[in-house]
Amino acid sequence: MTFLRTYFVITMTLISSMILSAQLHNEVPGEYIIRVQHESSIIRLRSAITDSRSSGNGQILTYHQVMKAPFLLWLVKYNGPAQQEEGYIKFLKDNPEVVSVQKNRYLTNRIIPNDPEYSKQWQYRNDGSSGGVAGADMDIERAWDISTGGNSLYGDTIVIGVIDDGINGMHPDILENIWVNHQEIPANGIDDDGNGYIDDYKGWNIVSKNDNVWTGASHGTPVAGIIGASGNNGKGVSGINWRVKLMPVNYGVATEASALSSYEYVFVQRKLYNTSRGKKGAYIVATNASWGVDNLQAEDAPLWCALFDSLGSIGILNCGATTNSSTDVDTNGDMPTTCTSEYLISVTNLTRADLKINSAGYGRKSVDLGAYGHQVYTVTRNDYGTFGGTSGATPHVTGVIGLIYATQCTVFQNLAKSDPAKAALVAKDMILHGVLLNESLRGISTTNGKLNAYRALKNTVSLCENCSPPAGIIIQPSELSFAVSWVNDQGTAKVNLRFREAGVNNWTEISNIKNGQVIDGLKTCTEYEVQTGSNCGLLPHLFSYSKYIKTTACCSIPVIKPIESSLNSIALNWSGDDATFKVSYKGPADKWIDTLLQDKTFLLNKVPECTAYTFVIKAFCKKYNNESPPTTEYIASTSCGSCSNNPYCPISRKDASQEWIESFTINKITNKSGTSKEGYRDFSGINNITLDAGKTYDFFIKPGYSGSSFSTARLKTTVFFSITTTFAPTELISMY
């Protein structure tokens, strides 16, 4: 009985897959179009079929001519038992009278929504009439022939988390697609679904700790509208997804802490959905962040990358907008878009002329692709209008993720159920593989290309065919090699690979690699650029987007412990690998002096009191045959005498990574401090500041904030203020 049940399940699965495969291509059951050599070919073909395969139970194949010129085409319909169909079709294909055999398919009317202002949404169909370039669009109408969004193949309601300043859920073009928590009874003061949030019926407001998420929303509403304004509803405009659920998470105050807390709500809801098998929580497949922090490097904000990894582990893919300034974020930083998590897609901004707008960030390693975001037409807070910046570009990518999860490919849908983390990586690759090359993005993004919705969905559908590109690619480095693997079985596809050391022009190419193959012969602690290619799927060229990996066995940067000093000496201690260390130091006007040490300690003696020195340490590891990057510059001073020995002068270790004193100016002397993991900069002994006893002086403090540009519109903001003060008699500095 067990065997029979297993056989039945396998058989039904195969039949279901065959039926679904036919549905994916709108195939007419049992009908084939054949091209023959001559007018008389069909007579000989009929005779051969009758002689060799007829069962005497009527006509197994019927014929109808559909074209005489330029080809001789016949429509052949199979009328026999399903299990014999493959044999008859093989007979047709093998017959010398037949040039070709292909399935007959239904035609599909191109799906265009009936929303009255759809014609203004040039990002969907650009004919050049709006001042742009004809064809500078995301090819959405062809994508809608595959999916218009909504539910997964297995009935999961697809949800996208919009982390922003709220969404106007009463907007007539969003109301139908706004998410609500049906497991929660509103305003009863009880956590009905046990998710840790009380009365989170409409979503969650991080500051007010309730579901007040529909107020404000001047920025979040157009972002949400791009992702999922109701399509084909006879109102206004259309979103990327005609039917999707938009989950509002209002960060309340534009700070990193609020943003991180917002992601927690998303994480909890998706994890609850997974563990309850869909009875609670929400099937969140993507989040959108149309905001960020300018000039912040990922290594200085490690929480972000860890957060995206955690979200990805439960099946959530994340999209982030890069800065709205002409900045190389690889060099100057930007968060979240410089985060190296595999579960993040970073987006820059294109115009209707198919050009990256000058005031948009870029990065060969960090920014993945461009999307249309400059003056795109969508919903506004209470009406309709244009919306722009990378804030407008990013939700177009997020919206396409929603479409991918609504495709009818069983291979992808089964993976989304069995391994949500791998499905998220596959969805990412379907988008990045499917870009169209764009000259304005060449060399300044990982793909060199722009979002194309149709190609992304077509790649997803190819997973259910016998030839698909590698998807869910992971590259795992070791000391002298890396292994490359991918999630899907690519069928008959051939996968090629090329790699090069970062900064080198020439590629090393390897043809027909296998899943899990190890590439040897590399250098330790070296960064490599890696690309894969395939003869299947829609790729931008022979090879797809770039991944950057670094081999292991790197000599680590020494970690300097708190510096100790006395009236005439400065002592340094540090931790790190067993290595030779180079300590470089200089006084206020000296040249750098280098000292090589085997120990992890350094003492500088006979230093004048109240004199500052700058120190940098680098390690040389013989074991790995490489050297570490240098430490940041550390400034330390010998004691300045009685004043600096008083209880109010010692400097305790603080963390100034979030806010700090950028500079302090008094009597035309400015000390620029800036951010510091130690929490302070010690400027004692650096400048001789002359202040006259009995006089008053103005001093000016300029603050710095890691979140100064943390605004929804991605506009850089610098805050200045000054303090003018007079010393009290007891605070006057005596001059000796």
pLDDT at 589: 74
Q: Sheet holding 73-78: strands in order across?
A: 61-67, 73-78, 27-36, 98-105
pLDDT, one tens digit per residue, over 30-79 is: 888 888 888 888 888 888 877 655 544 457 888 888 667 566 878 888 88
pLDDT in the model for residue 732: 39
Region for residue 492 given its phi and psi (left: phi exceeds 0; alpha: psi -120 to 50; beta: otherwise): alpha
pLDDT band, very low/low/confident/very high, at 642 (cuts 50, 70, 90)? low
DSSP secondary structure code for residue 338 in this structure: T
CB 570 within 8 A of CB 563: yes
The answer to whether the beta carbons of residues 315 and 283 sit under 8 Å apart is no
- pLDDT tens column, 188-222: 999 999 999 999 999 999 989 999 999 889 999 99
Distance in angstroms (rounded) separating the CA atoms of residues 550 and 82 = 54
* pLDDT confidence of residue 681: 65
pLDDT for residue 673: 75
pLDDT of res. 721: 36
Looking at residue 108, what is its pLDDT?
40
Structure tokens at 732: 């006057």
Residue 468 and residue 459 in contact, taking contact as beta carbons nearer than 8 Å: yes
Tallying the residues shown for the chain, one arrives at 736
All residues at 6 or more sequence positions from 323 whose CB lies less than 8 Å from its CB, including other chains: 292, 294, 329, 334, 337, 360, 361, 390, 709, 714, 716
Under 8 Å between Cβ of 319 and 431: no
Confidence of residue 722 (pLDDT cuts 50, 70, 90): very low
pLDDT score, position 52: 59
Q: Which range has the worst mean pLDDT, 40-49, 455-464, 713-722?
A: 713-722
> 392-405 burial string, b = 16+ CB within 10 Å, else e?
bbbbbbbbbbbbbb
**Between β-strands 283-289 and 317-321, what pairing exists: parallel, antiparallel or unpaired?**
parallel
* Least-confidence region, from 75-84, 121-130, 668-677: 668-677
Examine the pLDDT at 668 and tell me if it is beyond 80: no
Mark residue 316 as left, alpha or beta (left: phi above 0; alpha: psi -120 to 50; beta: remaining). Answer: beta
pLDDT at site 693: 75
d(CA 622, CA 307): 36
Angle between helix axes 41-53 and 85-94 (nearest 10 degrees) is: 140
What is the DSSP pairing of strand 495-501 with strand 508-510? antiparallel
DSSP state of 231: P
- The DSSP code sequence of 427-446 is HHHHHHHTPEE-GGGTTSSS
Q: Within 13 Å and on the Cβ side, how many CA atoms surround 82?
A: 4
In DSSP terms, which residues pair with 477 in a beta bridge?
482
DSSP letter assigned to residue 210: B
DSSP symbol at 507: -
Least confident range from 57-66, 239-248, 570-579: namely 57-66
Sheet holding 527-534, edge to edge: 508-510, 495-501, 527-534, 546-550
Please choose, from the candidates 281, 268, 62, 258, the residue with its C-alpha nearest in 3D space to the C-alpha of residue 164: 258
Highest-pLDDT range among 20-24, 239-243, 251-255: 239-243
In this structure, what token pair is assigned to residue 613? 């020195």
Q: Give the mean model confidence (pLDDT) for residues 175-179.
A: 98
Q: Which two tokens stand for residue 414?
A: 């089964």
Mean pLDDT calculated for residue range 274-278 = 96
**Confidence tier at 669 by pLDDT (50, 70, 90):** confident
Which of 415, 321, 397 lies closest to 362, judged by CA? Answer: 321
Cα 395 to Cα 11, 219, 428, 440, 447, distances in angstroms: 41, 12, 14, 21, 18
Residue 492 confidence (pLDDT): 81
683 confidence band (pLDDT: 50, 70, 90) = low
Task: Flag whether pLDDT at 701 surpasses 90.
Answer: no
Looking at residue 358, its amino acid is N
Average pLDDT of 346-363? 96
Q: Of 4-13, 83-92, 154-163, 685-694, which gets the smallest average pLDDT?
A: 4-13
Q: What are the pLDDT digits (tens) for 86-138?
A: 888 888 888 888 998 878 765 443 456 888 999 999 999 998 988 889 999 99
Q: What is the pLDDT of residues 387-402, one digit of tens each?
A: 999 999 999 999 999 9
Kindly write down the DSSP assignment for every residue of 543-565, as one continuous string: S--EEEEE-S-PPPPPEEPPPEE
pLDDT digits over 466-487, tens only? 899 999 999 999 999 999 999 9
Q: Is the pLDDT of residue 20 over 90?
A: no
Per the model's pLDDT, the better-predicted residue between 719 and 183 turns out to be 183
Mean pLDDT of the 410-428 span: 97
> Per-residue pLDDT averaged across 529-558, rounded?
95
Task: Quickly count: other Cβ atoms within 10 Å of residue 3's Cβ.
Answer: 7
Cross-strand partners of 571: 564, 603
- Sheet containing strand 699-705, strands side by side: 669-672, 659-666, 699-705
Looking at residue 65, what is its pLDDT?
A: 85
Tell me what pLDDT residue 710 has: 39
Q: Which tokens go with 112?
A: 């265009």
Domains parsed from the chain with CATH numbers: 16-105 (3.30.70.80), 131-464 (3.40.50.200), 465-553 (2.60.40.10), 559-650 (2.60.40.10), 654-736 (no CATH)
For 127, 168, 174, 373, 385, the CA distances from 120, given in Å and listed in that order, are 11, 22, 18, 14, 9
Provide, rounded to the nearest whole percent, the portion of the chain with pLDDT above 90: 60
What is residue 111's predicted lDDT score, i.e. its pLDDT?
55
Residue 723 binned pLDDT confidence (cut-offs 50, 70, 90): very low
Distance between first and last Cα of the chain = 102
Contact 634, 563 (CB under 8 A): yes
Average pLDDT over residues 129-157: 93
Q: Tell me what pLDDT residue 549 has.
A: 96
Segment 246-264 shows an average pLDDT of 87
Residue 500's pLDDT is 98
What is the overall mean pLDDT for the chain? 85
Whether 197 and 265 have beta carbons less than 8 Å apart is answered as yes
Is the pLDDT assigned to residue 364 strictly greater than 90? yes
Quickly state the pLDDT bin for 13 (edges 50, 70, 90). Answer: very low
